[in-house]
Amino acid sequence: MNGLFFVLITLVFVIFQTIVSPCFFWFPQSFDVTIMLVLFVSLHFSRHAVVLAIVFIGSTMDSLSGGAFFLYTFSYIWMYLIVQLGKQIVFQTRGLFIVVISMLSILIQQGLVVFSVFIQQGKAAVWQMDFTLMGAQLLWGTLLVPPGVWLLSLCYQHWRYMVRMLQKSWEQKVHE
């Protein structure tokens, strides 16, 4: 049932990021909302399943985004590695930990975008990039990713409760 939750929530985030979000005027200021999902999965699931999940999310976003290929997959894997390193050093449920990891995640992705532009178009193209936009995305991501991870955790707890209730109901019907 955890897999079903993961697939459903991934579909919601991918659809929001690729179809719904571009329809709004604030889209250029928007950060990658699937970062919330990557951080949530990195914090709450076992290591082997997380790596596969992150590759799945990243590959999906890479194929739909139109950006440099492997940008999302590579940045999500780096986010996962930083979360795992941070979990060994700091207790994972601290709010400050989530804020710092959120900020680092946005910075990783922005850094990879700059690096991608540098590789494809050279140093002159990098200096023509809109760094104030990157700063706005960093600010919005730092403010919105921690509540998003918390909300995903709340939804996951509710999902687990509903699954347990359905299992109990099913067992009672079987024993009758």
Distance CA 78, CA 137 (A): 19
Mean pLDDT across 68-73:
85
Question: What confidence category does residue 91 fall into, taking pLDDT thresholds of 50, 70 and 90?
Answer: low
pLDDT at 152 over 90: yes
Question: What confidence category does residue 2 fall into, taking pLDDT thresholds of 50, 70 and 90?
Answer: confident
Residue 77, pLDDT score: 93
Mean pLDDT across 87-97:
73
pLDDT, tens digit (0-9, with 9 covering 90-100), for 8-30: 999 998 888 888 887 877 766 67
Residue 32, pLDDT score: 86
Residue spans of the domains in the chain: they are 2-19+30-175
pLDDT at 90 over 70: yes
pLDDT, tens digit (0-9, with 9 covering 90-100), for 114-136: 998 898 888 888 888 888 888 98
DSSP the chain: -HHHHHHHHHHHHHHIIIIIGGGSTTGGG---THHHHHHHHHHHS-HHHHHHHHHHHHHHHHHHH-SSTTHHHHHHHHHHHHHHHHHHHS-TT-HHHHHHHHHHHHHHHHHHHHHHHHHHH-HHHHHTS-HHHHHHHHHHHHHHHHHHHHHHHHHHHHHHHHHHHHHHHHHHHHH-
65 neighbors 18 (Cβ within 8 angstroms): yes
More confident position, 115 or 46 = 115
